[in-house]
Amino acid sequence: MTGKRGAVAAALMGVTVSMAAAAAPAGAPAAAARNDTTTVVRTEDGRVRGIRTAGHRVFLGIPYAGAPKGAHRWAPPRPVRPWKGVRDATEPGPLCPQVPSQYADVSSLEEDCLVLNVTAPAPSVSRRRAPVMVWIHGDGTVGGGSLFDARRLAARGVVVVTVNYRLGVFGGFAHPGLEGSGTFALQDQQAALRWVRRNAAVFGGDPGRVTVAGSSFGAAAITAHLVSPGARGLFHRAILSSGEGMMDMPAGVMGPGIPAYPWYTWRTGREMADTGVTTARALGCSDPVPQRALRCLRALPVKKVLEMPHVMNLFQAFAFGNRVLPELPEEPLRAGRFPRIPVLSGATRDEHRLFVGMLYDAVGRVFTEDDYDRALDTAFGALAGTVRDRYPADGFASPALAWATVVTDRMWARGTWAQNSALGRHTPTYAYEFADRDAPMYLPLPGGFPFGAYHAGDTPYLFEDKEATSRFTPAQVRLSDTMTDYWARFARTGTPNGPGLPKWPRFMPEADIPYTQSLAPDHIGPVDYAAGHRLAFWHRLP
């Protein structure tokens, strides 16, 4: 996708922004620990001073790679220059370059941003090292690791590392002759994982028990790492929330005029390079010699690059067919050509309500029944009537909810089922559906629209977010506690099952009803995911 329409689609496709990016980053651990003592550890690059509380140790803004600026913009991450003395790690580091969006009023012009944050349990008398969880935030154009407060998971005995990586045009730019085109964000994440392997022990973590976890765009990145040669051996379990690795996109589902696309997250190197040439021309760096064009682009100030409309969204994808990502990921996933590590994978019950609400009813543009008919015609052509019969507008509270349900089932649920099935045929896989239809909305969107169990609505149930958790009911607090226990247990043992927790069997694709765990305040237990999302119907259609 190129041009303004592609940019709008990309912006909506990656809307899993960090919770705190939707508000002020005051929920970061440092703010709550200002009056506590400090603590120092020695990393391979030098000593860092963090914050120590009764239950946690928090280290913020630790560099894991050198500044990707100047000649190093759009180049592989390079080693950090070691420092002398003690580096302060009590304040968040800079966010990577980004611009404000409809759902996140944050911005940055700082390229020296490849930092990570460590939240560790307080030292205990036990000599057994704690499991490590590395969180890759979603969206791909906004956000940062310090906006996720991981103290709730750390309280369960997990060392949590949250990561900044290059976003948008800085993480996904591609151009003829540019080595690594379309993969710089993935390379950053792998550099962070290598840092974790080398340094986890000084924070009390076990480098042999690393779980990589992420939501939406972050989960798609993890799908890439599952099949990327450069990530082999860097993690031992994976958690995919609202993963997009095996999704396609029917026409119009991200708004009028947005074409169909065979892969939701992946792009060919040629396609992304063509977009890069167009972008270079728009930025005044057109040159028939690629290296001269790249020198011109690398010399541009960050502010100048970001002034180009939609430039961040144009590269909100990952390129395949290269050294970092040799294949379209679904091919090795289906064939079982990936490490046989345990996976926890799921989605939300009402994934697409967030996107429909943001485009229409929640912002005052009512989605009418005529709009619904046009959307079905655009997405399904000659099959629109068949879909309309299965999802009649008068069977829902509004045409907007009818359309959101169609897309949730056709795109998100079908893609999630395909991914879980591919994984479950080859490795222990635990499937879930987050189903709290009263989940607090943490994005700054108007009320009045029933967002339900919306895309990424499960994130505040795992990470501390005052805007959301202050509105939790007692039942939602219990759900949050159970989910956090599940995630921590999975990081520790490779299964979410443990004493006192509702049983969670594996997802077995060959079973009559493969097991999916419903996560809702009033029900933690099995759900027939395929029946609930009408997958038998969708599997009969193209």
Residue 123 or residue 463, greater confidence:
463
- Mark whether 480 and 357 lie in a shared domain: yes
| pLDDT more than 90, % of the chain | 88
210 by DSSP, 3-state: which?
A: strand
Contact 468, 438 (CB under 8 A): no
Confidence of residue 459 (pLDDT cuts 50, 70, 90): very high
Give 78-113 as a DSSP string. Answer: -PPPP-SSEEE-SS--PPPSB--BTTB---B--S--
CATH number, domain of 435, equals 3.40.50.1820
> Within 10 Å of residue 350's Cβ, how many Cβ atoms?
25
Asked whether residue 432 is assigned to any structural domain, the reply reads yes
**181-190, 226-235, 462-471: range with lowest mean pLDDT:** 462-471
Q: Both tokens of residue 352?
A: 């697409």
pLDDT above 50 (res 15): no
- Mark whether 310 and 349 lie in a shared domain: no
- Mean pLDDT score of the chain: 93
The pLDDT value recorded for residue 126 is 56
Structural domains counted in the chain: 2
The pLDDT value recorded for residue 2 is 37
Asked whether residue 405 is assigned to any structural domain, the reply reads yes
Contact 122, 154 (CB under 8 A): no
Q: What is the pLDDT of residues 271-289, one digit of tens each?
A: 999 999 999 999 999 999 9
pLDDT above 50 (res 18): no
Amino acid at 29: P
Asked whether residue 331 is assigned to any structural domain, the reply reads no
Confidence of residue 103 (pLDDT cuts 50, 70, 90): confident
Contact 344, 517 (CB under 8 A): no
**C-alpha pair distances (Å), 363 with each of 17, 102, 304:** 19, 11, 30
Asked whether residue 312 is assigned to any structural domain, the reply reads yes
Confidence of residue 111 (pLDDT cuts 50, 70, 90): very high
Classify the phi-psi angles of 291: left when phi > 0, otherwise alpha if psi is within -120 to 50, otherwise beta: alpha
> Within 10 Å of residue 262's Cβ, how many Cβ atoms?
9
Confidence of residue 464 (pLDDT cuts 50, 70, 90): confident
- Mark whether 161 and 308 lie in a shared domain: yes
Asked whether residue 297 is assigned to any structural domain, the reply reads yes
Q: What is the pLDDT of residues 123-168, one digit of tens each?
A: 875 568 999 999 999 999 999 999 999 999 999 999 999 999 999 9
| pLDDT more than 70, % of the chain | 93
In the block, tokens 């009818």 appear at 402
Contact 374, 344 (CB under 8 A): no
Asked whether residue 352 is assigned to any structural domain, the reply reads yes
Give strand ranges (E) for 298-382: 318-320, 343-348
- Mark whether 315 and 387 lie in a shared domain: no
Q: How many helices (H) and strands (E) does the chain have?
A: 20, 15
Which value, to the nearest 10 degrees, does the dihedral of the CA atoms of residues 469, 474, 477, 478 take? -170
Q: What is the pLDDT of residues 401-446, one digit of tens each?
A: 999 999 999 999 999 999 999 999 999 999 999 999 999 998 888 8
Q: What would the mean pLDDT of 159-183 be, rounded to a whole number?
A: 98
Q: What is the pLDDT of residues 485-540, one digit of tens each?
A: 999 999 999 999 999 999 999 999 999 999 999 999 999 999 999 999 999 999 99
Integer Cα distance of 536 and 542 in angstroms: 12
Asked whether residue 91 is assigned to any structural domain, the reply reads yes
**63-72, 461-470, 516-525: range with lowest mean pLDDT:** 461-470
Integer Cα distance of 358 and 1 in angstroms: 20
- Mark whether 316 and 346 lie in a shared domain: no
Confidence of residue 27 (pLDDT cuts 50, 70, 90): very low
- Mark whether 379 and 484 lie in a shared domain: yes
pLDDT above 90 (res 201): yes
pLDDT above 60 (res 16): no
The pLDDT value recorded for residue 447 is 83
- Mark whether 277 and 381 lie in a shared domain: no
The pLDDT value recorded for residue 35 is 56
Confidence of residue 378 (pLDDT cuts 50, 70, 90): very high
Q: Which of 463, 458, 420 is nearest to 440 (CA)?
A: 458
Structural domain boundaries enclosing 449: 342-539
- Mark whether 348 and 311 lie in a shared domain: no
- Mark whether 160 and 274 lie in a shared domain: yes
- Mark whether 298 and 404 lie in a shared domain: no
Q: Both tokens of residue 41?
A: 């550890």
Integer Cα distance of 180 and 380 in angstroms: 36
The residues that are catalytic are: 216, 351, 455
Confidence of residue 338 (pLDDT cuts 50, 70, 90): very high
Q: What is the pLDDT of residues 319-334, one digit of tens each?
A: 999 999 999 999 999 9
- Mark whether 293 and 430 lie in a shared domain: no
Asked whether residue 185 is assigned to any structural domain, the reply reads yes
- Mark whether 316 and 360 lie in a shared domain: no
Integer Cα distance of 285 and 115 in angstroms: 30
